[in-house]
Structure formats: structure tokens, C-alpha cells
Structure 1
Amino acid sequence: MPHLSYDHAAGLSALADMPGFADHMRRAMLDTGLFPLGGIRVRGHAASSESVADGAPGWLWLDMQVRIGQGRSEAEKTRVTQALYAAARAFLEPCLGDRPFALSLELREIDPRFSAKSWNTVHAALKG
């Protein structure tokens, strides 16, 4: 862990390098120093249907959800939330100019009782 998932307005792909955004956010997660390399996952999806605000076409938005395992302090979770939000904004703001845009992020802690992940060979592959 952690996993960063995001959904975004379909129109955002025409203005910003979204594969580049995913890699930028992966590096931002690593830069926090709180997560193991092999646990980081970033994935994004353009909305196939959307209706925002007044329903007019063309509204731009990106909504991020970060899921992490338990064990980090409130201060660490705050730092991660702020760092990832700042990284997303730094990447997207130059692409969007003064267009109306909404950026959001929510961090969730996973209850290990309800999380199965016994089959993961990524960590071993990174070592070898």
C-alpha cells in the first residue's frame, strides 16, 4: 500500500498528459518517504459519462482517492494528503490556465481485517 486512484473529466485528457500525471503522482507518493516502492499503485480513469454543476458540457475535474494501510500517525496522514494534493495541483495548473476546474483528494485507511493481499510478488521482483 498505498494505492492512488483517480477519476477525471474526459476532457482533461486533451489538455494534460494523463499517463505523465500518473507517473508524477507515483513519484510524489515515493517522495513522501512513508511508502514502500513495491506497494505504490497509481491508476486513473476518464469518466465515460458525467454531469457536473449546471449540466453544461466541458466542466473539468479530477477526484483522487488514496487508500493506505494502518499505522501512520495523524501528522503523517496530513502530510501525505497535503503533499499529494500539492503535487497534483503543480502538475495540472500549468495545463489548465484559467479554466474552471475542481481538484479533490480523500485519504482512507484500510482495515486489515477486510483486506486480502497474500499473493503479491512485486516486492520480491524488485529485490531480484
Structure 2
Amino acid sequence: MPHFIVEYSANLEHELDLDRLFANVHRQLIAMPQFPTGGIRSRARRIEHYCFADGLGDYAGVHVELKLSATRPQAMREEIGQRIFATLEAHFADLQARRFLALSMEVGLFHPGSFFNSNNLHALFEHP
């Protein structure tokens, strides 16, 4: 873990460079000793039905959920959230300069006892 989930309005389909965003976020998370490389995951969801503000313009939106373990201290979750949001703002700065874009992010929590996982990727990144 963590999971990085991007939801974006369909009118942004050809304006996002999600591969670059994911690479930047993964590099940043891998550099943090709290996260094993094999547990970092990113994905995106295109949202077909949406409305922003008064609904009259070609407004767009990106919302990110960064899911972390609830066992991480609150201060750590806030610091990581601020760092990742700064990365998002930098990534989308040019897009916000060209069009109206609502950008948001929340840090969600995986709670022990209600999150189940099977992952054999960790073995690929273990150091002898």
C-alpha cells in the first residue's frame, strides 16, 4: 500500500498524461521508507457523468484518493498527503492555466480487519 486512485471527467481524456503522473507519484512514494515498492498501486477512472459549478461551461475535474493504512500516524498521513498534492498541482498546472479545472485530493484509510490483500509482488523487490 498505498493506492493512488485518480477520477477524471471524460472531457479530459486526451489532456491528462496519467503515465507521467503515475511515474512521478511512484518515484516519490518509493523514496519514502514507509512504503514497500511492491505495494504501491495507481489506477484511473474516467467519469462519464459529472457537473461542475453551474454546469454551463466545459468545466473539468480531477479528484484523487490516496489510500493509506489507518495504522500510520496522523501527522505522517498529513505530510504524505501534502507532498502528493503538491505533485498533483505541479502536474496539472499547465492544464489549469488553459481551462477551468477543479482539482482535489483526499487521504482515505485502509482499516485493519476490513482490508484484505494478497500480493506476491513484494518478493520482486526484497533486498538480500
Normalised by the size of structure 1, how large is the TM-score? Answer: 0.86
TM-fit CA distance, 1:98:
4.4
Match for 2:106: what amino acid? E
8 Å Cα contact 1:22/1:44 also seen in 2: no
8 Å Cα contact 1:11/1:60 also seen in 2: yes
How far apart are the structure 2 equivalents of 1:98 and 1:125?
41
How far apart are the structure 2 equivalents of 1:17 and 1:34?
27
Deviations 1:46-71 (CA, angstroms, capped at 9, x unpaired): 21222222122521111011111133
Q: Which residue of 1 aligns with 2:114?
A: 114
Q: Which residue of 1 aligns with 2:125?
A: 126
How far apart are the structure 2 equivalents of 1:32 and 1:127?
15
How far apart are the structure 1 equivalents of 2:56 and 2:22?
27
Q: Which residue of 2 aligns with 1:97?
A: 97
Instruction: Please list every run of 5 or more consecutive structure 2 residues that lacks an aligned counterpart in the other structure.
Output: none
1:67 is aligned to 2:76: no
Q: Greater share of helix residues, 1 or 2?
A: 1
Normalised by the size of structure 2, how large is the TM-score? Answer: 0.86
Deviations 1:53-104 (CA, angstroms, capped at 9, x unpaired): 2122521111011111133222211111100100011111023314221111
How far apart are the structure 1 equivalents of 2:114 and 2:58?
38
How far apart are the structure 1 equivalents of 2:9 and 2:15?
11
Q: Which runs of 4+ in 1 moved over 6 A?
A: none
Identity of aligned residues (%): 24
Match for 2:56: what amino acid? A
From the superposition, tell whether residues 75 and 52 of structure 1 become closer, same or farther in structure 2 (CA, over 3 Å).
Answer: same
Root mean square deviation, CA, Å: 1.9
Instruction: Please list every run of 5 or more consecutive structure 1 residues that lacks an aligned counterpart in the other structure.
Output: none
What number of residue pairs does the alignment pair up?
127
From the superposition, tell whether residues 103 and 31 of structure 1 become closer, same or farther in structure 2 (CA, over 3 Å).
Answer: farther
